[in-house]
């Protein structure tokens, strides 16, 4: 395990913020005095006597308890509320104003939970601003998993000392008795600061720094060709990122230069595990490389120029570099080693974009865009001896340095008719070149048309139609020592494709109080030259949203949406013509209803919400006329939320919230899969996700308001 130095802590960041604040505040006084003398815009005698200019501190503190019943583990995914019982809720907002526009604010949410976040901002408005921010996101991926391995969360997984290796899971006599329950949890934390200064007129300088720490456990697998095992890998990485940006703006010009550097350090370089299977060659351990340390730099120049009366040019050039040179792991099999110590991986990227927009005639606007994007992978391509397992002979395989180059030219016109129709049409052409792919270049042409208008006072429509076609160069066999691809296979991002898409949206303002939105979307993708691979995709969505505003601030809404997706693909079991067809049909329905009455019984603020999201997925397979269907994959999420707020006076507010949430899912890939269900795999035995919670949230909010300065 490697150690990482120079980590910034919250305390250090706050210290930095305060130091910056003190230094810049002095500078700000000087600048502001100068500004006042120059413009003399703000005078005390302008002040509105009846206006409320707060001065001093304001505090808004909300605290309470949430009580959760039921099975809340997966409810804690992203919320941190993953255990039954009481949880502390605390939100705090503190603000400070001074008459000279000096300000400080602290906004904290979920401070008592693992999903806490806060932001502190201070500065003198118009002169400088400094921020410190923090966000934590808890990730809950499973608490039911079982594994015979010990040491979950570390980089070495071992088996019980009395483990007897066997060829299949059924023959592993100690498997059932040596199981350990594991949770797959991790936390993602981001801490950062930003400083923005306006040092001179028309200039802005920004400096941002952030670090992301991710720690916990995640699922992976370790295979040795015939056998495999579900494993737990440690997550313990840190990303530091800094951005320096300078902006100059005038009435005609805007120029922005930014430099970004990002550095990722993984505290673990590999995961090793004891081989649970019988090994004839004496292979007792497996090893997997974890994400390597890497860094990325980019320099970005952006400009916007109001060139002529009605002509504007926007452009951007970006140079990037990504490098990774972590020492490679030694081979886990006792065999001759590859002679290179590291991959010396390096990728350079270049992106240039130019956009010209011109309203050459008053109702007509034309736009041209050229976009160039290149990934130049300069990693040396070498032959690497591959040791897959104890049964197969080592073989050589090259690492491929994947490059690509994308060139795009887009043109569009926009025309306003005298009776209020907006007509848009355009053509996009994209040419994509890739290295080490069966097809070197593809060309995509997209022709589209759109119109929108407000038909009358109560109805508006928006309609868009796209027709896209993609073709490309001839297919060629790839240099690949390990496995030659079926020559009939057409990868879906390279294959010839015709696509037709239509979208229609209509908004009805039925009267002063009622709005209705209707939406319909349909698209079809036809991979007509793909004998093996994805053949057809169809997507459809329809939705309706109704809202009714029945007083100045009270409203109710209802919405329904349905999405369906169908894909058909062909495969070949015999490395020849297609001999099976797989069809996947997904459907997703959402219903949401809600009502909001801020002055219910002239005393309460009432909010009631009900939502259901239901998904189903069918997978069917047709092999030579034998038609079979997998069990239905489904998930359903239901939520009922009732919130009642009682404003006792100007300072005290009391809230009661009841929340019911239920999530249930069925997944044939996980249902009834035990550790030894598969002879060649020690499974983790994770169950499909489900949770059901009844939550009662009681909070009291106290507000201290500042005095008016005038």
Partner 1 sequence: MNFYFLKYLTGYFILALICLSGWSTFLFAQDASVINENGGAKENAEKKETTDINKPHYQSAGKCVSCHNDPALLQIFRTPHGQGADSRTQFAEKQCKTCHQSEQAHGDRRKMTALPAPGHQVVLKFYRDNSDSAKQKDAPCLGCHQRNSTHVMWQDSKHQRAEVACVDCHQLHPAKDPALDKTRQFEQCKSCHKKQSNDFRKANTHPVRQGSMGCSDCHNPHDSTYKNALTYSRESDLCWSCHAALRGPFLFEHQPVTEKCTLCHSAHGSIHTGMLTRRAPLLCQSCHSSRGHPSLSLTPDSLPGRRPSPFVLSQSCLNCHAQIHGSNHSSGGVLTH
Least separation in angstroms between CB 137 and partner 1: 5
Classify residue 574 as left (phi > 0), alpha (psi -120 to 50) or beta.
alpha
Nearer to partner 1, 15 or 548 (CB): 548
CB environment 444-471: b (16+ within 10 A), e (fewer): bebebebbbbeeeeeebbeebebebebe
Q: Which is nearer to partner 1, 161 or 523 (CB)?
A: 523
Query: What's the min distance (Å) between Cβ of 65 and partner 1?
Result: 19
CA 630, CA 138: separation in Å to the nearest integer?
33
Comparison of 384 and 600: residue with beta carbon closer to partner 1:
384
Residues 42, 98: Cα–Cα separation, whole Å: 15
Cβ at position 342, least distance to partner 1 in Å: 9
Q: What is the smallest separation between the CB atom of 404 and partner 1, expressed in angstroms?
A: 6
Return the closest-CA partner of residue 325 out of 387, 263, 276, 368. 263
Q: How many C-alpha atoms does 582 have within 13 Å on its Cβ side?
A: 13
Closest separation between CB of residue 497 and partner 1, Å?
Answer: 12
Q: For residue 304, give the nearest of 315, 293, 294 by alpha carbon.
A: 315
Q: 3-class DSSP state for residue 230? A: strand
Residue 162 per-residue DSSP state: T
Q: How far is the CB of 162 from partner 1 (least distance, A)?
A: 26
* Pick 27 or 353: Cβ nearer partner 1: 353
Quote the least distance from Cβ 328 to partner 1, whole Å: 5
Identify which of residues 1 and 15 has a Cβ nearer to partner 1 in the complex.
Answer: 1
Q: What is the length of the chain?
A: 710
Which of 159/676 has CB closer to partner 1? 676
Closer residue to partner 1 (CB): 280 or 456: 456
CB of 543 to partner 1, least distance (A): 6
How far apart, in whole angstroms, are the C-alpha atoms of residue 237 and residue 141?
18
- Taking Cα atoms as reference points, which of 506, 511, 541, 507 lies closest to residue 523? 541
The smaller minimum CB distance to partner 1, of residues 63 and 583, is found at 583
How crowded is residue 656: how many other Cβ atoms within 10 Å of its Cβ?
15
Residue 602 to residues 2, 556, 598, 606, Cα–Cα distance (Å): 62, 18, 8, 11
Q: Which is nearer to partner 1, 19 or 33 (CB)?
A: 33
Nearest CA to 521 out of 456, 463, 585, 591 is that of 463
Shortest CB 5 distance to partner 1, Å: 18
DSSP label at residue 293? P
H or E stretch including 19? Answer: helix 10-39
């Amino acid at each position: 395990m490697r150690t990482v130095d120079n980590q910034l802590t919250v305390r250090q960041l706050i210290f930095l913020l305060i130091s910056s604040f003190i230094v810049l505040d002095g500078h700000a006084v000087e600048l502001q005095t100068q500004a006042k003398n120059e413009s003399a815009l703000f005078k005390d005698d302008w002040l509105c006597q009846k206006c409320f200019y707060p001065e001093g501190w304001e505090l808004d503190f909300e605290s309470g308890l949430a009580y959760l019943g039921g099975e809340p583990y997966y409810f804690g995914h992203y919320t941190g509320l993953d255990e039954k019982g009481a949880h502390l809720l605390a939100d705090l907002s503190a603000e400070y104003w001074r008459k000279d526009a000096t300000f400080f604010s602290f906004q904290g949410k979920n401070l008592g939970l693992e999903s806490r976040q806060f932001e502190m901002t201070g500065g003198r408005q118009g002169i400088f601003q400094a921020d410190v921010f923090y966000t934590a996101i808890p990730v809950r991926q499973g608490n039911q998993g079982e594994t015979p391995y010990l040491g979950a969360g570390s980089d070495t997984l071992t088996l019980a000392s009395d483990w007897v290796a066997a060829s299949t899971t059924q023959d592993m006599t100690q498997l059932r008795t040596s199981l350990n329950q594991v949770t797959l949890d991790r936390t993602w934390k981001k801490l950062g600061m930003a400083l923005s200064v306006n040092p001179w007129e028309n200039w802005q300088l920004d400096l941002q720094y952030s670090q992301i720490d991710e720690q916990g456990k995640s699922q992976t697998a370790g295979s040795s060709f015939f056998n495999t095992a579900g494993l737990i890998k440690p997550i313990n990485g840190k990303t530091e990122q800094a951005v320096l940006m300078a902006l100059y703006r005038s009435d005609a010009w805007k120029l922005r230069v930014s430099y970004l550097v990002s550095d990722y350090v993984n505290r673990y370089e590999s995961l090793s595990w004891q081989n649970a299977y019988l090994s004839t060659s004496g292979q007792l351990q497996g090893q997997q490389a974890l994400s390597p340390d890497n860094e990325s730099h980019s320099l970005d120049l952006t400009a916007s120029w109001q060139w002529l009366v009605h002509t504007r040019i926007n452009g951007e050039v970006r140079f990037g570099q990504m490098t990774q040179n972590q020492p490679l792991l030694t081979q886990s099999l006792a065999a001759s080693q590859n002679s290179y110590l590291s991959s010396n991986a390096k990728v350079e990227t270049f992106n240039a974009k130019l956009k010209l927009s011109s309203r050459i005639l008053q109702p007509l606007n034309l736009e041209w865009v050229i976009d160039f994007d290149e990934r130049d992978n300069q990693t040396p391509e070498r032959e690497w001896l591959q040791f897959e397992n104890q049964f197969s002979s080592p073989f050589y395989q090259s690492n491929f340095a994947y490059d690509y180059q994308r060139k795009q030219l887009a043109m569009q016109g926009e025309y306003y008719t005298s009776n209020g129709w907006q007509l848009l049409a355009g053509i996009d052409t994209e040419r994509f070149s890739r290295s080490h792919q069966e097809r070197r270049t593809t060309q995509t042409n997209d022709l589209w048309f759109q119109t929108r208008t407000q038909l009358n006072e109560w109805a508006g429509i928006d309609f868009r139609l796209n027709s896209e076609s993609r073709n490309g160069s001839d297919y060629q066999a790839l240099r690949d020592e390990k496995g030659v691809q079926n020559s009939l296979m057409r990868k879906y991002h390279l294959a010839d494709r015709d696509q037709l898409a239509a979208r229609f949206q209509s908004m009805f303002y039925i009267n002063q109080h009622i709005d209705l939105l209707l939406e319909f979307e349909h698209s079809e993708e036809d991979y007509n030259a793909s004998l093996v691979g994805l053949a057809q995709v169809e997507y459809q969505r329809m939705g309706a949203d109704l809202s009714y505003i029945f007083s100045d601030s009270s409203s109710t809404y209802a919405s329904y949406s349905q999405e369906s997706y169908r894909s058909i693909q062909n495969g070949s079991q015999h490395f020849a013509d297609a001999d099976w067809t797989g069809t996947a049909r997904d459907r997703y329905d959402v219903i949401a209803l809600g009502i909001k009455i801020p002055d219910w019984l002239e005393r309460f603020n009432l909010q009631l919400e009900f939502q259901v999201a239901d998904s189903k997925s069918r997978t069917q397979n047709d092999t030579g006329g034998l038609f079979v269907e997998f069990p239905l994959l489904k998930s359903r999420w239901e939520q009922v939320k009732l919130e009642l707020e009682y404003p006792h006076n100007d300072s005290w507010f009391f809230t009661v919230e009841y929340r019911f949430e239920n999530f249930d899912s069925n997944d044939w890939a996980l249902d009834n899969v035990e550790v030894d269900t598969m002879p060649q795999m020690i499974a983790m035995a994770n169950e499909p996700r489900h949770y059901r919670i009844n939550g009662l949230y009681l909070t009291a909010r106290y507000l201290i308001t500042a005095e008016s300065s005038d």
